[in-house]
Structure 1
Amino acid sequence: MELWERLWETPQATMWEQLCQEFEVASYVRLLARAEKPGSSAIIWGQVKQLAESLGLSVSGMQRNRWTIGTVNDSSSESAPQSAVSPVADLAARLKAVQGG
């Protein structure tokens, strides 16, 4: 449950919700739990990696999905230096599907 909750706090969760990918996220959580058990096979780890990329949880997955994580546009912060970590409050404003190629 902890992993499930943490995943839904990521910027990618905005797109999962729009694309109705709840089942895929749940499958990822279940597979990761299996993969972390002692004696798990490389096949399971491969499936975990594949789902992670599909869900945009890796850099290559974000690029393949054409997703970028941006910053929230706030007129009061235009003169202030950008923080390396954006506030999590408005995930939808941070994750945008890149249009075109």
Structure 2
Amino acid sequence: MTLWERLWETPQATMWEQLHQDFEVASYVRLLVRAESPRSSAIVWGQVKQFAESLGLSVSGMARNRWTIGTTEDEDMPSAGNASPVASLTARLKAVADG
């Protein structure tokens, strides 16, 4: 499985889809691949960290975006056998309102 596919299976992907952030996710993937090359610099790693934060891929990024990952018990969900993976992710990731 590619990094792109793994990222789109995360609960955060629900919000990326709603916010039309496919370009940002693609940019993060390209930058991460660049950062992992042998000649990468600390500047590139800093940019990777910033992207991860903005995409909610870190604890601090989730908090800054006001996102929380809940459990499926938090929602009135159909049985696990009937729920699609996307529906399950949607139930687990909730945008927390200001307050």
TM-score (norm 1): 0.84
RMSD between aligned residues: 2.1
Deviation at 1:74, TM superposition (A): 4.9
Q: Per the alignment, do residues 36 and 68 of structure 1 end up closer, same or farther by CA in structure 2, a change over 3 Å counting?
A: same
Picking from 69, 93, 96, the partner of 1:95 is: 93
Partner AA of 2:93 in structure 1:
L
Runs (5+) with no aligned partner, structure 2: none
The match for 1:11 is 11
The match for 1:59 is 59
Partner AA of 2:45 in structure 1:
W
**Which ranges of 4 or more aligned residues in structure 1 deviate by more than 6 Å?**
none
The structure where helix makes up a greater share of residues is: 2
**Which digits, 9 at most, give the CA deviation of each residue in 1:32-56, with x for residues without a partner?**
0000000201110000000000000
Identity fraction in percent: 79
Deviation at 1:100, TM superposition (A): 1.5
How many aligned positions are there?
Answer: 92
TM-score (norm 2): 0.85
